[in-house]
Structure 1
Amino acid sequence: MSEQSLSAVEAELYDRQIRLWGIESQEKLRAANVLLINCRGLGCEIAKNILLSGINSLTVLDDSLVTEEEQIKNFFLTKESIGKKLAEAILPKAQSLNPLVKITADCENPVEKNANFFEAFTIIITTGIKTDLVLKLDKICRINKVKLISGDVFGMFGFSVADFLNHEYYEDRVQMLPKKRTQDGSVKTTIQVKGQIDYPELNKVLIFPNTKQSIDAIKKSNRRNGLFFLMLTLLEFRNENGRNPQISTKTDDIEKLKIIKKSIVGLYKISTSIFEDSLFEQSFGEVVPVCAILGGVIAQEVIKAVSHKEITINNIFLLDPVTFNGKEECVGA
């Protein structure tokens, strides 16, 4: 969808946002078609924020059924949703957040979608999928100039990794005016500065043992935040086991995580002290407050990437499970 002028109804509804980031940015959002893969604890937080921002359309791709546990932590669901297709069950409450956004439910398995399906979107958001699918999607996105951001929550730990291609942005900066040129008494003005971030493809960012990926980026790994390697360890656990670590098998899963950690630090040629094994204790479940924090961060990045307003994170965000401070890492560039 090409950019269009906002209607009077849209201008009134998005008045506060227009004052914040301008009419041009809101029109870019109004033209954006977003795909969200999985709408569970983290996904529902992301969906809420981007729906309120005023995008054109949101497609929710999720083939799961609503469980009792999922219903408790997903505010789009009710007790009547249990046993139903999740993508369809969230529609009523999601649509009520913003009736002006077109919302579509797709209950197919993301793995079974062909490449053509993903071409129509402005940006794709993924949660809770294996890395091989993320990397496959990234290749498709790069061919079709579609932006991609992937995020997950493991207990108290959360992260996102983005590929916004060759992303141009505009940033407002305050500039002091020479006193001799001022006529109205003002001493400063706001100017718009253009910038660009060239994102690396994700197969240069997410590198695991036993893959055929290039390891050139590994040479710079000794300066990485330890949480980056915690992220890789947890993702590799999902890749190997087809699930996240579970409380019901906590003891066994922690041992598996320790083994995976050894293989990853061996690949990157770093010390096992890069992060403490005690962090594994905090990596179970999908903690709702952490979903809310990370969901806000990812949605903010989506809004910035689509509107081209303000600088985006390049390219990894890490939420510290101990301090809850956000850390940024640039990997693979």
Structure 2
Amino acid sequence: MSANHATNGTVKLSEEEIALYDRQIRLWGLEAQTNMRSAKVLLINLGSIGTEITKNIVLSGIGHLNILDNHIVTEEDLGCQFLLGKEDVGKNRLDATKTRIQEFNPRVNLSFDKANIEDMDASYFKKFDLVIGTELNTREAITLNTMTRQLNIPLYLAGSNGLFAYIFVDLIQFDAEDEKLRSIKATEPGKISQNREIISIDERISEDDDKIVYERIKTRNLYKPFQNMLDDATLNGKLTHRQLKRVSNALPLTLASFLSSFDDSSKETFETQTRNMCLKLGLPIETISTQYTEQFIRQRNVEFAPVAAVIGGALAQDVINILGKKQSPLNNFIIFDGITLEMRIFEL
């Protein structure tokens, strides 16, 4: 299944659905909405970020959403999960939330699997057009990405460490189309960055004024697997010295966290790994703040509702974008810094 397979548009929207989704059809077009209606998406784990993603794509009119989660609701979940109440503590997450999720949009086909991701093989994943993984450790993320690559299925990963969060995107190869007003200097084909290239440009003359010309630009996006990103991550040659100095501490801290487990490594070990990651990325080591590091360690794997809302909204919007192929998608690693409220895209 290709990264573009989800946009097959084989399901037609009814007049009722066109009326229901009228506002978003005006925003991203009938084709994108039809493709949403055709798509089969797998979401892994219904934590705070997973809930936000679910809400957004269900309200948007996804055709089929399958949620895989075997977690039991704890009291800690109540502070970051708006679908849960005190009466749900001790229940399986899916049992506690499935009715409320269906109420978001009864037209969406929902299915639920109370199972462990590690028990699922290729026959399970190949049913889906797109996979979204949340709350995964590094080993699970790499294993999942290896599977989605073998099956040629687009993958998003998302997670948070308190005020800091990330999105990883692997669409393998994805061609997107954008349209813009032609400027004095016409756009030319060629490399935009390491992972993106303009492969064709078509012009369209405005029906209202033949002096107004639009460019339809097709951009090819290439992606790295999660493992390769960790192995090869660098910003050398991609940012100026001044830009490197302004990169959030959340980037090296997050990447270093993928390479360590706080169960078997000390604070000193993690700080060493963070410094090594800075060297690898090409970032000045002296810019790493002790305050950032200590806060990151304290909040490791903690989910905050406001941060989850930002990450869940951004990820869900990108899913909508790729289904419509109207805008270039995220490529390939996004960091949210809740201290500065910055969210930046890095091509690693």
- Which bracket does the TM-score occupy, shorter chain normalised? 0.7 to 0.9
Letter in 2 for 1:277: T
Cα drift, residue 271 of structure 1: 4.9
2:228 maps to amino acid:
K
User: Counterpart in 1 of 2:125?
Assistant: 118
2:56–2:316 contact (8 Å) kept in structure 1: yes
Question: How far apart, in 2, do the equivalents of 1:129 and 1:312 lie?
Answer: 22
What residue in structure 1 maps to residue 314 of structure 2?
A: 297
Cα distance, 1:156 vs structure 2: 0.8
1:148 aligns with 2:155: yes
Aligned pair 1:241/2:258, yes or no?
A: no
Deviation at 1:220, TM superposition (A): 3.8
Q: What is the CA deviation profile of residues 182-216 of structure 1, one whole-angstrom value per residue up to 9, with x for unaligned ones?
A: 88457646554322101122221023xxxxxxx5x
Aligned equivalents of 1:269, 1:9: Cα separation in 2: 54
Other-structure match for 1:99: 106
* 28 and 190 in structure 1: CA distance in 2 versus 1, 3 angstrom threshold: farther
Give SS of 1:205's match.
helix
SS in 2 for 1:159: strand
**Alpha-carbon spacing, 1:327–1:176, altered in 2? closer, same or farther (3 Å):** closer
SS at match of 2:159: strand
Provide the residue aligned with 1:61 in structure 2.
Answer: 68
The structural deviation recorded for 1:307 is: 2.4
**For residues 201 and 221 of structure 1, what CA distance do their matches in structure 2 show?**
21
Equivalent residue of 1:310, what SS?
coil
Alignment correspondent of 1:197: 221
- Report the CA distance shift for 1:330/1:166 in structure 2 as closer, same or farther (over 3 A): same
Matched, 1:77 2:77: no
Partner AA of 1:301 in structure 2: D
Query: Does the Cα contact within 8 Å between 2:206 and 2:213 map onto a contact in 1?
Result: no
For structure 1, the residue ranges without an aligned partner over 5 or more in a row are 208-214, 243-251
The question of whether the paired residues in 1 share the 8 Å contact of 2:236 and 2:282 is answered with: no
- Residues 1-333 of structure 1 mapped to structure 2, 5 A cutoff: 3-175=10-182, 184=208, 188=212, 192-207=216-231, 215=232, 220=236, 225=247, 226-237=249-260, 239=261, 241=263, 254-255=267-268, 257-265=270-278, 271-283=284-296, 284=299, 285-331=302-348
Aligned-partner Cα distance in 1 for 2:217–2:344:
25
Instruction: Give TM-score scaled by structure 2 length.
Output: 0.80
User: Mean alpha-carbon deviation: is it higher for 277-286 or for 186-195?
Assistant: 186-195
How far residue 310 of structure 1 moved from its aligned partner, in angstroms, is 0.8
One-letter code aligned to 1:234: S
What secondary structure is seen at the aligned counterpart in 2 of 1:133? helix
Aligned pair in 2 of structure 1 residues 258, 15: CA closer, same or farther (>3 Å)?
A: same
**What RMSD over aligned residues (CA atoms) do the two structures have, in Å?**
2.8
Partners of 1:268 and 1:17 in 2: CA distance: 39
Mark the CA change 1:323 to 1:218 in structure 2 (over 3 Å): closer, same or farther.
closer
Residues 193-202 or 24-33, more deviating: 193-202
Aligned partner of 1:241: which letter? D
- The number of equivalent residue pairs is 310
Calculate percent identity across the aligned residue pairs.
29
The alpha-carbon distance between structure 1 residues 187 and 91, as it changes in their structure 2 partners (threshold 3 A), is: farther
The C-alpha deviation readout for 1:267-306, integer Å capped at 9, x for no partner, is 6686533532321343313121111111111111121122
Q: Which amino acid aligns with 1:38?
A: N
Flag the 1:12–1:222 CA change in 2: closer, same or farther, 3 A.
closer
Secondary structure at the aligned position of 2:32 is classed as helix
